[in-house]
Amino acid sequence: MLPIDPAQKLSFNRRITNGDLVIVYERYDSMKSVKVSENGVLQNRFGVFKHSDWIGKQFGSKVFSNKGGFIYLLAPTPELWTLVLSHRTQILYIADISFVVMYLEVVPGCVVLESGTGSGSLTTSLARAVAPHGHVYTFDFHEQRAVSAREDFVKTGLSDLVTVGVRDMQGEGFPNELSGKADSIFLDLPQPWLAIPSAAKMLQQDGVLCSFSPCIEQVQKSCETLKSCFTDIRTFEVLLHAYEVREGNLGSWLDSSDGGKTCKKRQRSTNGQDQNSRPQTIMARRNGEARGHTGYLTFARLKCNM
């Protein structure tokens, strides 16, 4: 079998082969990552699925079990990988990730430095953004996390775009050999201000830095340190609200929201009219499962006289 070009892996415009990683979509709230093996079998509530039936199909295909149940075989895009990866640490989610990639001005060919790697959620999106000729250098002080991250990048076909290092960034800073080579830097550290002086040396002229911190006290101290080498310092909080939109009447929606406890009381109005017979309308409400505060994103641009 001929080796698959990394750029082609990222596009997923090909058929599934033995050894590929696929995201098995069972339903909207149930997905898992599976490595395809010719003799492999997946068993779930929908039946038994043979991996051999998957090989040769396009990503996105619908496949059936011996019972007639079905699943979808999806490509391991960064968005889906973020939803199924092993949480070795708290991770960044899609809203923060998309904001970071945009404000760091990450485009194909860029060199990006990251500390720390954690579960690799952001790293995966950064790698896709710099592909096919850029590179991401990511560092974590925890050796086993770094090893697990390397294994994940091999699974997702990103190992040629990502280098994982083990390093105490707050104590040692970035490696000297990367000095002046980075277009962008991302910091996710308990004390990011300790790594900011080193980060300034790594950036090219007009390079951009982002620091992620869950507490405003961390942001304040980081901003004070940034002032010596950086300009255009800005802090954002990204709050994502998901909405449910459907057709119905207010009474039926209220019934569903409390698990049907008041359903019998609302079945009929005072004039005896069945509530379900009332005119239908389009309604929207905020999904209660929406995540709140995740952290603060502080961006800064290297001063031109550095």
- Known binding site for S-adenosyl-L-methionine: residues? 119-122, 140, 168, 188
Phi, psi of 180 (to 5 degrees): 75, 10
- What end-to-end distance do the CA atoms of the chain give, in Å? 50
Query: CA–CA separation, 55 vs 36, rounded Å?
Result: 8
Query: CA–CA separation, 230 vs 169, rounded Å?
Result: 19
Of 228, 226, 191, the residue nearest 209 (C-alpha): 226
Q: Which pair of tokens denotes residue 172?
A: 């040692």
Annotated binding site: 119-122, 140, 168, 188
Phi, psi of 151 (to 5 degrees): -65, -40
**Is the distance from CB of 105 to CB of 124 less than 8 angstroms?**
no
Q: H or E segment at 98? A: helix 94-103
